[in-house]
Amino acid sequence: DQQVKQNSPSLSVQEGRISILNCDYTNSMFDYFLWYKKYPAEGPTFLISISSIKDKNEDGRFTVFLNKSAKHLSLHIVPSQPGDSAVYFCAASAFSTGGGNKLTFGTGTQLKVEL
């Protein structure tokens, strides 16, 4: 079963406007939520995270919002820039039964920022 879902496979936004990427999850045991950005032929790079006990975290142009009651989080990028065009993955962290800590990823949203 898909514990982390990104229902929009793609999003197109004009330069300077806000980009909003959404993510839903089902497992209430997740303790951190993270966003990664991925360019083609490269590994994902960490963008921003939020603890499950918070509802907002901001870092420059990037803000992540968490709504625990709705099991929903979103990433806001303001203002959007052409260099932001990439695939964005939502991920959630939880401890495994064996003692390790693992990330479960969504399917990704391709963001295209147009001039």
Partner 1 sequence: DVKVTQSSRYLVKRTGEKVFLECVQDMDHENMFWYRQDPGLGLRLIYFSYDVKMKEKGDIPEGYSVSREKKERFSLILESASTNQTSMYLCASGGTGGYGYTFGSGTRLTVV
Q: Where on the chain is the footprint of partner 1 (CB under 8 A)?
A: 6, 9, 31-32, 34, 36, 41-46, 49-51, 89, 91, 93, 96, 98-108
| SS3 label, residue 65 | strand
Smallest distance from partner 1 to CB 26, Å: 14
Smallest distance from partner 1 to CB 1, Å: 10
Nearer to partner 1, 69 or 96 (CB): 96
Q: Which residues contact 81 (CB under 8 A, 6 or more apart)?
A: 15, 61, 113
Smallest distance from partner 1 to CB 100, Å: 3
Tokens 């052409």 sit at which residue?
Answer: 82
Nearer to partner 1, 79 or 103 (CB): 103
Kindly report the backbone phi and psi dihedral angles of residue 83, in degrees, each rounded to the nearest multiple of 5, phi listed first: -65, -10
Q: Count of CB atoms within 10 A of residue 23's CB? A: 25
